[in-house]
Amino acid sequence: MEKIIKKAYTESIENERKGDKEEEVEAIKRIILNAKKIIIATNNQKKFKVIGDILSHIVNAKIEMLNINTNYADLTRMPAVNKGLMAVDTEKADLIIARGRLGVPGSGSMLVIMDGKGRILSASLSPSSVLHKEDIEVRIKKELIDALKRIGIDIQPLYYKNE
């Protein structure tokens, strides 16, 4: 991943970057599909179960819940990202998945997939719950499936039926 990032940085500096490349997306997919330890940055059992159930269909990894109260991330400007960074700073894992508020209260939510260094591999956004009116389990399932699909991991035929 470091070589891919360095090459993309160089392309950007030289004003030659023309968008994502297939090998970049494939590298992200490999990181996710080959993960051996995944931390879900939540202390919410409902969120943990939904995310863990979906991941168990696509990876052969040890999936653990972060043993820290992540509510404190709500005091930051980007709670979802900061929940993930709490996990990066306190755990050793191949993959971190965090879900929380996008920004200010009312801004909706974000599910973010990070590598063990805190680099964002993919993410998905949802509108405010007062707008979508779905149960948290349904919305998180949609967010994770969307975040995976954005980088070419389509589990819909295997797992998810449109509700």
DSSP string, 53-84: HHHTTT---EEEE-SS-GGGGGGSSSHHHHHH
8, 24 Cβ separation under 8 angstroms: yes
The backbone torsions φ and ψ at residue 19, rounded to the nearest 5 degrees and listed phi first, read 120, 180
d(CA 121, CA 130): 28
At residue 131, the pLDDT reads: 84
Q: Domain coordinates of the chain in residue numbers?
A: 36-158
With CA atoms as reference, report the closest residue to 45 among 60, 59, 66: 66
Give per-residue pLDDT as tens, 91-133.
Answer: 999 999 999 999 999 999 999 999 999 999 999 999 998 888 9
How much of the chain, in percent, has pLDDT values that exceed 90? 88
Its sign, for the CA torsion 83, 86, 88, 93, is: negative
Give per-residue pLDDT as tens, 40-62.
Answer: 999 889 999 999 999 999 999 99
d(CA 65, CA 19): 35
The backbone torsions φ and ψ at residue 143, rounded to the nearest 5 degrees and listed phi first, read -65, -45
Confidence of residue 162 (pLDDT cuts 50, 70, 90): very low
With CA atoms as reference, report the closest residue to 35 among 64, 8, 68: 64
**HSE-CB for 32 with a 13 A CA cutoff:** 29
At residue 161, the pLDDT reads: 46
For the chain, what is the mean pLDDT? 93
Average of pLDDT values for 135-156?
Answer: 93
Confidence of residue 72 (pLDDT cuts 50, 70, 90): very high
Residue 153 has pLDDT above 60, yes or no: yes
38, 64 Cβ separation under 8 angstroms: yes
Residue 7 has pLDDT above 50, yes or no: yes
Superfamily designation of domain 36-158 = B12-dependent dehydatase associated subunit (3.40.50.10150)
